[in-house]
Chains A and B, each alone.
Chain A
Amino acid sequence: MGQELSSSRLTATAGTATVEGTAGGGILPWVMLAGYGDRKEIGCAAGLGRLSTSDYGLSTQAVACSYSNRLELSVARQSLELDGLIPLLGLPPNQKLRQQIIGAKVRLVGDVVYRPYGQLSFSVHHKSSRDDELVRATGATRTSDTEAMLGWGKLFIDGPMGQMLYLNAAARWTRANQGGLLGAGGDRRDSRQINMEAAAAVLPRRDLALGVEYRRKPDNLSFAGEDDWKDLFVAWFPNKHLSVVAAWVDLGSVGTLSNQDGVYLSLAGSF
């Protein structure tokens, strides 16, 4: 009784599967837990994502499940195609940078919808590269590492001009290079630092969110400078089983190649 997959939480309030596996919005993790399960219910989400910039292509697969809207466990795989970098560095064709992310997120207190102060969540991601040699060659000191995040999120039902407004802010304690794709730590800095990230989205309808996100990042490698990430996104939730995200993402400089902006598309299912 009550252990079956269930989906009682309100449409769109479970977010979507992100590139890092855990539930979130455009490309950033948010505080909500994956799937639509609430107390004593199990909810899951699985998604595929594709980001194409002028010199790179990133493919992601993510699965996350939560129990009782309290604990979420997630797994993600990312594969970065290095089209623009291969001729420059003389890398073997088809060389990719792949990593796996295992994550856990706990809802500490509150609720995104029903508490005036919103919801606080704490999460941990363990990121490990599957292309150690190349990661080390960039100057990264670690091929796997763990980072932690503390986030706050709140859906203002009666937001400006009668629309719903969702705000999310988080502090990430990390030393990951390019989100972990280039390992962690480097010659410039090898200790974790606190990076802020934030998202704001307006919901002009129950099933549609338009938002903007910003993520500060470490800059550990002298081989390749790293910029903050920003994006503009549209997320559509036709029902509780499907979500579609389209975003314009600006990654800045990645692996010595600057101006890496492009389109991100993601399709996720919840059950």
Chain B
Amino acid sequence: MRRATFLMQVTLSPRVSLRTQLAALAMSFSMLMSGCASLSTDQATLYERLGGKEGVALIVNEFIIAMANEDAVRPHFRNINIAGFRARLEDFLCQTADGPCEYSGRSMKQAHATLGIERPAFNAIVEALMNAMEASEVSFADQNALLARLAMMESDVVSAHPFKPPARQIQP
């Protein structure tokens, strides 16, 4: 990086010929680009940046609490086994963030096909996840990296048909 700065200074010097300046500029530009490329390959996976297993578990915990506090989302969790949901969600986020996990649950489309999640509820879920990551002290850049991957699944999760809350299970 220091060399690139030096070359940038050279490029700004008026005593050097235009051709040399352009060559130096191109060189420093390619160095910057390759520097960035090698940075990103050396860099930890998103999963690691989210804090690995513990980090994802923390995010999922905060996420479930945040969703439970959303009026638009809570009814969708009636009759859902939270422990199983938590485990599947951890695997799913781990896999989505390039972690060493394999999500073995149903596809996003299948899992949400009968839930009738409409856009307002989906927005509330996205906000819950944003707040969960904020509470888990995930950096804004890492939040965005995960959100961008999940946002593309909106059409698999949201359905055009309205949600009908399932009847409460009557305990014997």
A162 → chain B closest CB, angstroms:
2
Which of B19-27, B85-93, B142-150 contacts the other chain?
B142-150
Residues 43-91 (chain B) with a chain A CB within 8 angstroms: 72
In the bound complex, residues from chain B placing their C-beta under 8 Å from that of A205 are 140
Q: Name A158's closest neighbour in chain B (CB-CB).
A: B148
Evaluate contact between B151 and A114: CB separation under 8 angstroms: yes
A198 → chain B closest CB, angstroms:
23
The CA-CA distance from A8 to B158 in the complex, in Å, is 14
| Cβ contact of A163, chosen from B120, B127, B140, cutoff 8 A | B140
Evaluate contact between A157 and B140: CB separation under 8 angstroms: no
In the bound complex, residues from chain A placing their C-beta under 8 Å from that of B8 are none
Evaluate contact between A162 and B144: CB separation under 8 angstroms: yes
A238 near B: Cβ within 8 Å?
no
Residue interface bits A204-232, CB-to-B below 8 A is 1, else 0: 11100000000000000000000000000
Interface residues of chain B, those whose CB is within 8 Å of chain A, are 72, 118-121, 123-124, 126-127, 130, 139-142, 144-145, 147-149, 151-152, 154-155
The 8 closest A-B pairs by CB, nearest first: A162-B141, A158-B148, A8-B120, A114-B154, A157-B148, A8-B123, A39-B119, A38-B119
Would you give 25 A-B contacts (Cβ < 8 Å), ordered by A? A8-B72, A9-B123, A10-B123, A10-B126, A10-B127, A38-B119, A38-B120, A39-B118, A39-B119, A41-B120, A69-B119, A111-B154, A114-B151, A114-B152, A114-B155, A116-B152, A156-B148, A157-B147, A157-B151, A158-B145, A158-B149, A159-B144, A161-B141, A162-B139, A162-B140
